[in-house]
Amino acid sequence: MTNFTTYLTTTLVLAPGTARASLPRRLVALAAVLATSCAGPVAAAQGPLGRQVAAIKDGTVRMSFRARPGVCGNDNSNSISWNRGESRGKARNEWENECEPGPVRVAIDVEDGSPVGIRFYVGGRWRAAGSATDLGTVGAADAGNYFTWLAERSNEHVAKQAVPVAVIADSATVWPALLRIAKSDERPREIRKNAVFWLGQAASDATAALDGLANEDSEDIEVRKSAVFALSQRPKDEGVPALLKIARGKGDARVRKQAIFWLGQSGDTRALAYFEEVLTKR
């Protein structure tokens, strides 16, 4: 389709010495429609924010947007905390450090209209940089969609940098895309493992997806083991039952061993009961 459209638009419509009026109007109209339809899906998929970045061509693009609740940054060490405030017990709530709740600030290095590197921070402020193009404050959902789009299509270097940016964008629903990446045999293993890790951070809805990943009949054991680890990072009422299901199952022994290890790290009474059950049967 692309080659046919190029032929119509360049050879027929725009060929030197060819008068536009000499061509059938329907053919000219058809060429225009086909050219739009071929370019449209890619442009539409990356959204208006992506088109703004692509328009820069070469240089650095900056943007800021609202962070997901619970995400904050410490500008002294450039560290980012997740689920801040979800502490247990009175003693854990009596002190907090200087951790800014946002905004998320992202710098994208662009070459020939395509991102080649992404850096992000939470809180703080930009230093002056005359060569950078600052898009200002953008919609968090739009940012989440754009960086998810990059994560699904970019090379390993850019994709791994795009995933956490998408995840910490407020009001962005990214876990379905992360699941697609994790299950895609066409994506490099490191990107899939990275997606699995952040899938565990993205939403409570992700627990069922991680459970499915860990239990699926896949030859990529490393990705399945990453799903088990991500389950161990979920709240115990979600993660422990899923880990117990894997440990009790008849799946790959390496995946079950991983689940048993993380059950042992949980300190949960249900895990202790499972160990007692297994040991007394021997």
Structural domain boundaries in the chain? 1-45, 173-282
In the predicted model, residues of the chain with pLDDT beneath 50 are 1-43, 87-90
Query: According to the model, what pLDDT value does residue 201 have?
Result: 66
Provide CATH code, domain 173-282: 1.25.10.10
Query: According to the model, what pLDDT value does residue 52 have?
Result: 95
Can you say whether the dihedral through the CA atoms of 19, 25, 27, 29 is positive or negative? Answer: positive
- The two beta strands, 79-81 and 72-74, are antiparallel
Query: According to the model, what pLDDT value does residue 234 have?
Result: 81
Q: What is the C-alpha to C-alpha distance for residues 261 and 41, in angstroms, rounded to an integer?
A: 45
**Nearest to 146, CA basis, from 40, 42, 50:** 50
Query: According to the model, what pLDDT value does residue 23 have?
Result: 41
Query: According to the model, what pLDDT value does residue 139 have?
Result: 96
Query: According to the model, what pLDDT value does residue 138 have?
Result: 97
Number of Cβ within a 10 Å radius of residue 268: 18
Tokens coding 49? 């924010």
Query: According to the model, what pLDDT value does residue 184 have?
Result: 86
Query: According to the model, what pLDDT value does residue 40 have?
Result: 43
Q: What is the C-alpha to C-alpha distance for residues 23 and 118, in angstroms, rounded to an integer?
A: 47
Q: What is the C-alpha to C-alpha distance for residues 244 and 228, in angstroms, rounded to an integer?
A: 11
